[in-house]
Amino acid sequence: MGKVFRFDNDVDTDQIIASQYLLFPSVEEMAPHTFESLDADFAANVRPGDYVVAAENFGCGSSREQAPSVLKALGVRAVLAKSFARIFYRNCINIGLPAIVCKDLYDHVQSGDEIELSMSEGTVTAGTQTYACTKLPAHLQGILDQGGLIASLNQD
């Protein structure tokens, strides 16, 4: 089980990690500034295994891979949104952070709720309710299963 941190529509990559932090020497040093303009306490409150839940078009804007990377560095288990912007989505798969399309979850959970994702079942459980997620295409699931693009290319 992990706690929900819930965000709205069109959360852009500048809001996930602002450009003034992108030149910090490591992702670990950027991570305390995650979601700073939306929820200044996010980085302090999130725990490994927690979930980011969002509405439509999560991760729109720039190509910065630091956006999914800071979430992964903070231990976020998965991002569950109604839809994702395309570069953010590819970046998640490539770094091994599950980005899962779940159309119904956002409307039925609040920040602080406890949920559980089953990747193998393709479902999320929140209280007594279970919600179906959209399965990844096999090619992408393969990259994710191996832990991201680096592990996947090294395997090839």
Partner 1 sequence: MGMTLIEKIIAHNIGRESVTPGEIVTVNVDRVMVHDIFIPFVADKFEEMGFSKIWDPDKMVLIYDHLVPASQLDDARHFAKGDAFAAKYGVKNVHRSDGICHQLMTEAGYVKPGDIAFGTDSHTVTYGCVGAFSTGIGYTEMAGILGTGKLWIRVPETIKVEVNGTLPANVSSKDVILQILGDLRADGATYKSLEFVGSTFDAMSVASRMTMSNMTVECGAKCGLFAPDEKTAEYCGISAEDFKNDAFLQSLKGDPDAAYERVLTYRAEDFVPVAACPSQVDNIHPVSEIAGLAVDQVFLGSCTNGRLEDLAAAADILRGKKIAPFVKMIVTPASRKIYREALEAGILETLAEAGAMITHPGCGLCCGRAGGILTDNEVVVATNNRNFLGRMGTSKVQIYLASPKTAAWTALTGRISVPE
Tell me which residues touch partner 1 (CB under 8 A).
9-10, 12, 14-15, 18-20, 22-25, 37, 56-57, 60-65, 83-87, 90-91, 94-95, 137, 139, 148-150, 153-154
Report residue 134: phi and psi, to 5°: -80, 130
CB 113 within 8 A of CB 3: yes
Rounded least distance, CB 65 to partner 1, Å: 4
State in angstroms the smallest separation of the CB of 15 from partner 1: 6
CB of 95 to partner 1, least distance (A): 6
Q: Are strands 99-101 and 78-81 parallel, antiparallel or unpaired?
A: parallel
| Residue placing its CB nearer to partner 1 in the complex, 14 or 116 | 14
Nearer to partner 1, 1 or 153 (CB): 153
Residues 6+ apart with CB under 8 A from 12: 59, 60, 61, 62
Asked whether the beta carbons of 70 and 30 are under 8 A apart, the reply is yes
